[in-house]
Chain A
Amino acid sequence: GQNIDQPTEMTATEGAIVQINCTYQTSGFNGLFWYQQHAGEAPTFLSYNVLDGLEEKGRFSSFLSRSKGYSYLLLKELQMKDSASYLCAVRDEAGGSYIPTFGRGTSLIVHP
């Protein structure tokens, strides 16, 4: 099985930088995803990491350390529209299913 842990809620100021952490335990790691989800809507894909290091995509960056079972999502130049839930998901290759397991999500509140 898998165990994924991320903070329940974070707050930040418009224009600032925020880092959302995710730790995980899995037996057959095969990639880590970050999704953004606005209330009542479907999750949208943000990033995918399978190798150690930092992946940068515009204002969003995602980091992975497989040896530490750790990832973070970095959001720069925060905007009000970034207020959403951010889901960390880990894919396990056990049994050939390659199905991502989602964490509980981190609710980010951006205030003026």
Chain B
Amino acid sequence: DGGITQSPKYLFRKEGQNVTLSCEQNLNHDAMYWYRQDPGQGLRLIYYSQIVNDFQKGDIAEGYSVSREKKESFPLTVTSAQKNPTAFYLCASKMDPTGNTIYFGEGSWLTVV
């Protein structure tokens, strides 16, 4: 089945550590996105990529980094510079940047311990 796979579902990070969230899609979509959601809040855009080997900062990129070396993969690294990383992270994709329908992965919960 086609879709977006995020892993891990749950992740615990110690302070000062970098962690990487995986996002893989087999939909052959050009555009991919990372959103952060805090309890009771909407989705805020961290980074997005409209084509392989290119990505742009979203509204809250500080403390995060991404890469887009392959069309199907868009991993997100939460660095130690992100002071409040505990949140629900959602990866999404669209066929192309102008497309209407955005598909979401199941999300990853990150908790700082």
For chain A, the count of residues having a C-beta within 8 Å of the partner chain is 24
Contact A96 B88 (CB under 8 A): no
Q: A100–B93 Cα gap in the complex (Å)?
A: 12
B53-106 contacts to A (CB < 8 Å)? 56, 58, 88, 90, 97-102, 104-106
Q: A96-B97, A98-B98, A100-B102 are in contact. Are A43 and B43 (CB under 8 A)?
A: yes
B8-44 contacts to A (CB < 8 Å)? 33, 35, 40-44
Contact A40 B97 (CB under 8 A): no
The SS class assigned to the A binding surface is: strand
For chain B, the count of residues having a C-beta within 8 Å of the partner chain is 25
Q: A42-B106, A104-B40, A104-B41 are in contact. Are A98 and B88 (CB under 8 A)?
A: no
Contact B42 A31 (CB under 8 A): no
Contact B43 A102 (CB under 8 A): yes
Contact A87 B42 (CB under 8 A): yes
- 10 A-B residue pairs with Cβ-Cβ distance under 8 Å, sorted by A, are A8-B40, A31-B100, A41-B106, A42-B107, A45-B102, A96-B97, A97-B56, A99-B45, A99-B48, A105-B41
